[in-house]
Structure 1
Amino acid sequence: MWTKHHKKRKFGRFVLPAIAIAFVSYFGYHCVHGDLGLIATEEFERQRLARAAELAKLTEKRQTLERQVSLMSDGSLEKDMLDEIARYQLNVSRTNEIVIFNNYF
């Protein structure tokens, strides 16, 4: 009767754990350093905060411009308002005038 007698090797015991460690290490590395990892998430959050601040400034500027347009286009165009805005944006005045600008435009 033929039987196979296998000698137990120490190398065989470490193959499956080595593969598991390599698998976990690969995915662990990419969880931290990958395109959607922790480091990239922090950068996305910084960009989001910067763009939110920029959006707030642009929204405020738009509201100011809309308020100016509503004052000029409500049917009764005020000549003083038009004159004031033109002088401010074109930076002109008459020779005998003193101009003090309040930065509200």
Structure 2
Amino acid sequence: MQVVKIVRRVIRATIPPALFIGLTAYFGWNVMRGEHGLHSYAAQLHLLDEARSAQHDAKAEQEVWLRRVRGLKEGALDVDLLDERARTMQNLARQDEIVVPYGEHNHLY
């Protein structure tokens, strides 16, 4: 009889703290590594930083293209500059022009 009482007393003394420690460990694990835990939050912040960086790059590229498109408007084009640039890219010259040769690595444009 005494052994049964001692076993019951040990069981009553250990089960509630063991359950409490188990629940605490479960919730602690989920706080750190769960689906909405701190590690997931840090990963989401990293993805947010990458998305903001990509957005910044896209806006910069969009500004470059807008500037280029604005330069193509009729009032913005200088006919002489356009003619000079076209002839330079096609490597053409008129008979009355003086051609100054540049080295391979010394490009004008």
Structure 1 gaps, min length 5: 1-6
* Aligned-pair identity (%): 17
Asked whether the equivalents of residues 70 and 76 of structure 2 are also in contact (C-alpha less than 8 Å), the reply is no
Q: TM-score of the superposition, structure 1-length normalised?
A: 0.63
| 1:1-105 superposed matches below 5 A | 7=5, 9-73=9-73, 75-76=74-75, 78=77, 79=79, 80=81, 84=85, 92-94=89-91, 99-101=107-109
Ranges of 4+ aligned residues in structure 1 off by more than 2 Å: 79-84, 95-101
**In the aligned structure 2, how far is the partner of 1:83 from the partner of 1:37?**
63
* Matched residue count: 90
Aligned in 2, Cα 1:27/1:71: closer, same or farther, shift over 3 Å? same
Computing the radius of gyration from Cα coordinates, the structure with the larger value is: 2
Q: TM-score of the superposition, structure 2-length normalised?
A: 0.61
